[in-house]
Amino acid sequence: MPEPETPVSFPPAFLWGAATSAYQIEGAVREDGRTPSIWDTFSHTPGKTAGGEHGDIAVDHYHRYREDVAMMAELGLTAYRFSVSWSRVQPTGRGPAVQKGLDFYRRLVDELLAAGIKPALTLYHWDLPQELEDAGGWPERDTAFRFAEYAQIVGEALGDRVEQWITLNEPWCSAFLGYASGVHAPGRTDAAAALKAAHHLNLAHGLGTSALRTAMPARNSVAVSLNSSVVRTVSEDPADLAAAQKIDDLANGVFHGPMLNGAYPDTLFPATSSVTDWSYVLDGDLALIHQPLDALGLNYYTPALVSAVEPDASGPRADGHGASSFSPWPGADDVAFHQTPGERTEMGWTIDPTGLQDLIMRYTREAPGLPIYITENGAAYDDKPDPDGRVHDPERIAYLHGHLTAVRQAITAGADVRGYYLWSLMDNFEWAYGYGKRFGAVYVDYSTLERTPKSSALWYGEAARTGSLPAIQGD
> For residue 250, which amino acid is it?
L
Q: 395-400: long-range contacts (C-beta < 8 A, 24 or more apart)? A: 395/345, 396/441, 396/454, 396/456, 397/455, 397/456, 397/459, 397/472, 398/472, 399/345, 399/351, 400/456, 400/459, 400/460
Looking at the DSSP bridge assignments, the partners of residue 157 are: none
Distance CA 294, CA 209 (A): 10
DSSP string, 138-165: TTSTHHHHHHHHHHHHHHHHHTTT--EE
Known catalytic residues are 170, 376
Nearest to 381 by CA among 364, 397, 363: 397
Query: What is the spatial distance between Cα 241 and Cα 308, in angstroms, rounded to a whole number?
Result: 8
Half-sphere exposure of 474 (CA within 13 A, CB side): 0
Contact 109, 66 (CB under 8 A): no
- The helix/strand/coil state of 9 is strand
Helix (H) or strand (E) holding 90: none
Secondary structure (DSSP) of 361-408:
HHHHHHSTT--EEEEEE---B-----TTS----HHHHHHHHHHHHHHH
The answer to whether residues 366 and 311 touch, using CB atoms and an 8 Å cutoff, is: no
Q: Closest Cα to residue 291, out of 200, 224, 197?
A: 224
Distance, CA of 121 to CA of 78 (rounded, Å):
14
Q: Among candidates 41, 27, 204, which has minimal Cα distance to 124? A: 204
User: DSSP states of 211-229 as a string?
Assistant: HHHHHS-TT-EEEEEE---
Least Cα distance to 293 among 215, 356, 368, 376 occurs for 368
